[in-house]
Structure 1
Amino acid sequence: MLKSALEFGPILAFFVAYLWLKDEVFILGGTAYDGFIVVTAGFIPVFLVCMAALWKLTGHLSRMQIVTAVLIVVFGGLSVWLNDERFFKLKPTLIYLLFGTALGIGLLRGESWLQAVMEGLMPLQDEGWMILTRRIMLFFFGLALLNEVIWRTMSTEAWVYFKTFGLTASIFVFFIFQGGLFKRYALDEEG
């Protein structure tokens, strides 16, 4: 439960802080920053503290968590430094493109890099890992495209709702629909 709180807590905190400060403007050093930028500035250290606590708790961080943390610092930092929310909104697109591309490179090599990262969580036959990897790769590319459409065509508030609930729900629903694959390709306890 603590692990889940450390993973999802910063996202929910970002959402609540955004709702609270979205209509505010803050003057810092003679520059006006809207609520989104201030919330983004606060999100970065909160996220990093939670990642450090998660590392302390579990003894490791996945490559996905590390890459996500780096992109949050870089693109969140650019948003704050340049006072431009577009950089932070672009971050999910880049994360999903990066992970989708990495999985695609593994598939081109005939390997499931997803299996290397998640094998302990889901014991599947090799064929199941390859199918799941293809599906997740396509799913990540779809999420990248969807993020681009949402942030470029809708309001910041709509994007925040999408980022907080839409992306999380879509990942949850995606894995629910993989139940048949998990059942069909699950390794039996003896195997």
Structure 2
Amino acid sequence: MAGRKINPWLKLGLEIGPVIAFFAAFTRLKDQTVTIGGTEYGGFILATAGFVPLLILTTLILWRLTGRLSPMQVATLVLVVVFGGLSVWFNDERFFKMKPTLIYLLFAGILGWGLMRGQSYLALVLEEAMPLEHEGWMILTRRLTAFFGGLAVLNEVIWRTMSDAAWVNFKTFGLTAAIFFFFMAQGGVFKRYGIEEKDGR
């Protein structure tokens, strides 16, 4: 069922606002520690503790305004709550840093399962927005599956070998830029297999 249309800028703000807020909070608190109940919490954990409820709030607002959430949004919210909560509970940032790896592996696995069955699950989500021929969807899905797998590996390398600040910059800007440039690079697929262009409509 299609959701209700809302202002695209409001939708964008609700989707990326928590990520920007996490970046801002970490930048401000990264060199600070707070003692609560005899336990010291660093800036990363404090930023995570604020990010989790903020994402829950903005996702609920988005659902209330549009009447629906995509499977990607639901999966992201669940993993953020689980792994963000574990990071705060155990005062260990590694749980939260693993979250993008699991998200991208999950998406790659779902898309890969569809490919094994000769289907593009990506088309089920995006077909109305980007009508393509079946072969176009299969090509795009294969590429996106490999791309998600690569992002999962890259996230693991960065959080395990670099500083907290490097990982936060990667998560905030690097992942967003990578996804943007990936879809920009698929212009040939959209042009060749786009139904509207081929039919001249």
TM over 0.5: yes
Aligned partner of 1:14 in structure 2 is 22
Aligned partner of 1:144 in structure 2 is 152
Shift of 1:120: 1.3
Aligned partner of 1:40 in structure 2 is 48
Aligned partner of 2:110 in structure 1 is 102
Pairing partner for 1:156 from 158, 164, 167:
164
CA distance in 2, matches of 1:62, 1:53: 14
CA distance in 2, matches of 1:51, 1:120: 22
Pairing partner for 2:135 from 127, 135, 152:
127
Secondary structure of 2:41 counterpart: strand
CA distance in 2, matches of 1:55, 1:79: 26
**What amino acid is the match of 1:26?**
V
Structure 1 length as normaliser, TM-score? Answer: 0.98
CA distance in 2, matches of 1:118, 1:110: 17
Shift of 1:188: 2.0
CA distance in 1, matches of 2:23, 2:196: 42
- The runs of at least 4 aligned residues of structure 1 exceeding 6 Å deviation read none
Shift of 1:58: 1.2
Unaligned runs of 5+ in 2: 1-8
Secondary structure of 1:23 counterpart: coil
Structure 2 length as normaliser, TM-score? Answer: 0.93
Pairing partner for 1:68 from 65, 73, 76:
76
Aligned partner of 1:116 in structure 2 is 124
**Amino-acid identity (%):** 64
Pairing partner for 2:63 from 46, 55, 66:
55
